[in-house]
Amino acid sequence: MTSSSHPVPMKISVTREANFWWASQSENFRDVFPDGTLWAPLRGSIGQRNAFWDTLLDVRPGDIVLHYVRPAIRGISRAATLPVLAYPPARGYKEPADTEGRLVLTDPVREVHIPWDDIRDILPPGKRPLTIKGTPMRGYFFDVSREGALQLLQKAGLEITDGPCEGPPEAASADQHLGGPSDKWTLGAIRTEQRFLRNQQLLLRGSSCSICGHSFPEQLLVAAHIKPRKDCSEKERMDTRNVSMLACLFGCDALFELGYIVVDESGLIQACKPASKQVSARIEGLAGRKCRAHDERSRGYFAWHRQAHSGKVDQAGANTPDLRWHPRSP
């Protein structure tokens, strides 16, 4: 008997503390699942609150999400962050870009196909997410019983373990973690947030470094915070489109983060502090260039960066940036 006759099932780690969620989605699944976003507005178009939006408040890192697109469960993901206030992500949501909402970032585990007949046989009618008639409840985000969810995971061909989640080791500052102090999920949250921010900037501005202007493969670009998250207000943390930019790994990210270069009020890159001969040569090649991420919506963040690294009072950064945003093509 060959190994191909009995393929090894993919393992999924589920802790005893994990909760399980059902996300009802439309064709936006094609965008939001790979992007790793779960977002809902705080209020509807007439100011109403909806319980199936507010359930996002209860999501915790490590929880498992079943993504339902009628008539089947199409994907399994794991929550990577706590819910935070956020405007709609760049892809997959129809609400105006300045709509206040809540965002949870997820790590996609696997695309699956669990047909409706299997769902109906496993989940009891009258308990979320099914009505007393055994049909899906109208709404967006519901809790699912642990017993039922585990059976559905097995139907998807997943082997359930209680071991640690697998993933490439990466070192990053814990202050990037969306939603709280460092814990065992922090590295996963940092990776997920970086993917979200980078994808957002790639959609908005294309695959070019905002500092040197050169085009690079996506893996050589990072989403650099103009103003560090730890120094942002809650309102500014929502403004992910404008508080970050793409910077390349060929020096631009480090030069900006360490304050060797700043962006002036007109959007031009300037040297900020003394540097060695080799570093100065790199800075000279950048000085006077227009920063691609500088505009009226981001200028206040750049002003904060100038002030933080020059120690000078900068009136341009005295006010919170205008957080209104209107989509534009890359």
* Per-residue model confidence as pLDDT tens digits over 40-62: 999 998 999 999 999 999 999 99
DSSP calls for 143-159: EE-HHHHHHHHHHTTEE
**Rounded mean pLDDT, 142-151:** 96
**pLDDT > 70: what percent of the chain?**
83
CA proximity to 40, closest of 31, 50, 30: 50
Give residue-wise pLDDT tens across range 225-235. 999 988 988 78
**Rounded mean pLDDT, 9-15:** 86
In the structure, what pLDDT confidence band is assigned to residue 83 with cuts at 50, 70 and 90?
very high
Give residue-wise pLDDT tens across range 158-191. 999 876 544 433 333 334 444 443 344 555 667 7
pLDDT at 284: 95
pLDDT at 1: 41
Q: Which runs of consecutive H residues, i.e. helices, occur in the chain?
A: 29-35, 51-54, 116-122, 146-155, 186-205, 234-238, 240-243, 252-257, 277-286, 299-310
In this predicted structure, which of 99-113, 171-185, 212-226, 251-265 has the lowest mean pLDDT? 171-185
pLDDT at 192: 79
pLDDT at 310: 85
What are the Cα distances from residue 89, in Å, to 41, 265, 320? Answer: 11, 28, 21
* pLDDT of 9 above 80: no
pLDDT at 170: 37
User: What is the model's pTM?
Assistant: 0.72
CB-based burial label for 34 (10 Å; 0-12, 13-18, 19+):
middle
